Amino acid sequence: MEKKLVREKQSNSEERRSNSEINDLPDPLLCHILSFLPTKDSVRSSLLSKRWRNLCGYRFKLICYSKDIDDDSVLESWIDALVGRRVCHLDFQVKSNDYELFCMPLSLYSCNTLASLSLCHVALGDMELEFVVSLPCLKVMRLDSVRYEYDKSLIHHDESSSLETLITSCPVLEKLTIIRDFFDHLKIMRVRSRSLKSFTLWVDSYEVGLFEDHVVEIDAPRLEHMSLRAHLSGSIIIHSIAPYASVNIDVNFDGENGYTPLDEDDADSSKRTMIHDFLTRISTVCRMEISYHTLESFGELLPTFLGCCPNLHTLVLKFQFEIEGCPIKLSYVPPCFVSSLKYVELATQGTTKTSSQMKLARYFPSHCVVLKKLSLSKSFGADIIKGIKKIQRKSRKCIIVSGCLVKPQLIP
């Protein structure tokens, strides 16, 4: 009995000592630890100590209309108060059609507890050199129609912006979504992060306010999921992403809608070089989804495109061949057809039947040795699908199914 009491006292003493050691940790580190827990467990942890109650789940969402705001200082005081109250999740949206936007106060950029941040239709002001930007717990960030200040005194290739400063100041950032603003004239968008795992860039083709020669640079060695919709990009430069990543490519390399064949003039040669460099940087991907805009940009180069990805496991192609205007040479068999490509989905836009449609659908089962499933959208038509199912397949395990399995691309 005495031994049992001694053991209980020792256990209680060790537990109190352990709790004391945890409570001695700084708030940013405690928030970082809690960020790995499910929401319910994070909330329950507040029972352990009074000090923990203000660390969990302080969430704030504000949607306001600019016409109802007489003085920006009011919004600034709100943000300052939220930072003071250790906000963890902030969703701040301003509904406005005006060119002038509310500029986020500098206090936001040094919030030690912020875990997720969503900003819509605001501006990130110029961050003074002496101001320290630090968001040590921020893991998720969404920037929708946000404008960024940049140092106009610097030459083009050294141009830096408040966006670049913000991203590099988030050491645990894992998910980043950027939807470019109509009036955003930032020429160079740099996304540099050692922690980033998911990145989405959305630029609609009708946004003519954007510079057509703007550059996107991505340097994220842990990036596992990348989705690019940038029809006006002058150049997309990928320095690094994670091996075996999944990419969604909706990029018009021609900078305009419609198919433009590559020929031997200087402009097309430059475009060909850009496509080659882009492919080289994503050559280790295991899953790829290609939009019909991208497919029409390089047309006949599709086999060469696939030949740059020897580890490709899943391929999704969205295309439209309403006219016989997109010649695809399918004589070359990429290495991934022999080693890795197991799942292919083909989704057409429109209902017009063409020989190119049939030719592309036959290409994969006829040459892919390890193919397990070929999915064809219903827009191929019953006759084409029936004909494809009758051809001799290179892989005995390959099945051919019909139905639109590709969901429309949505902004996350």
> Residues 278-309: pLDDT tens digits?
888 899 999 999 988 787 777 677 888 888 89
Q: How far apart are CA 309 and CA 336, in angstroms?
A: 7
Quick one: pLDDT at residue 150? 55
Cβ atoms of residues 348 and 380 within 8 Å: yes
Smallest CA-to-CA distance from 365 within 332, 339, 341 is with 341
Q: What's the distance, Cα to Cα, between the start and end of the chain in Å?
A: 60
Residue 122 backbone phi and psi in degrees, to 5? -135, 180
Quick one: pLDDT at residue 289? 94
Domain final position from 242, 261, 278: 242
Q: Same domain for 226 and 336?
A: no
User: What's the rounded mean pLDDT across residues 51-75?
Assistant: 70
Residue 19 lies in a domain: no
User: What's the rounded mean pLDDT across residues 219-230?
Assistant: 94
Q: How far apart are CA 164 and CA 162, in angstroms?
A: 6
Quick one: pLDDT at residue 209? 47
User: What's the rounded mean pLDDT across residues 63-68?
Assistant: 72
Q: How far apart are CA 96 and CA 67, in angstroms?
A: 8
User: What's the rounded mean pLDDT across residues 53-72?
Assistant: 70
Alpha helices in 24-117 (DSSP H): 27-34, 39-44, 72-84
| Neighbour count for residue 276 (Cβ, 10 Å) | 14
Name the domain count of the chain. 3
Q: In DSSP terms, which residues pair with 192 in a beta bridge? A: 219
Q: Same domain for 88 and 222?
A: yes
Whole-number mean pLDDT of the chain?
A: 77
Q: Same domain for 72 and 221?
A: yes
Q: Same domain for 411 and 286?
A: yes
Quick one: pLDDT at residue 371? 96
Domain assignment of residue 283, given as a range: 244-412
Q: How far apart are CA 182 and CA 185, in angstroms?
A: 9
Residue found by looking up tokens 């980033």 in the block: 196
Residue 254 DSSP symbol: T
For residue 257, pLDDT over 50 is answered with no
Residue 43 lies in a domain: yes
Quick one: pLDDT at residue 155? 38
Residue 5 lies in a domain: no
pLDDT confidence tier of residue 385, bands split at 50, 70 and 90: confident
Quick one: pLDDT at residue 156? 42
Q: Pick 322 or 337 by higher pLDDT.
A: 337
Domain final position from 222, 242, 262: 242
Cβ atoms of residues 91 and 60 within 8 Å: yes
Residue 382 backbone phi and psi in degrees, to 5? -60, -40
CA geometry: angle 270, 232, 284, nearest 5 deg: 65
Q: Same domain for 335 and 272?
A: yes
Which residue type occupies 221? P
Domain final position from 242, 268, 288: 242
Residue 7 lies in a domain: no
Residue 8 lies in a domain: no
State the pTM of this model. 0.78
Residue 2 lies in a domain: no
Quick one: pLDDT at residue 397? 93
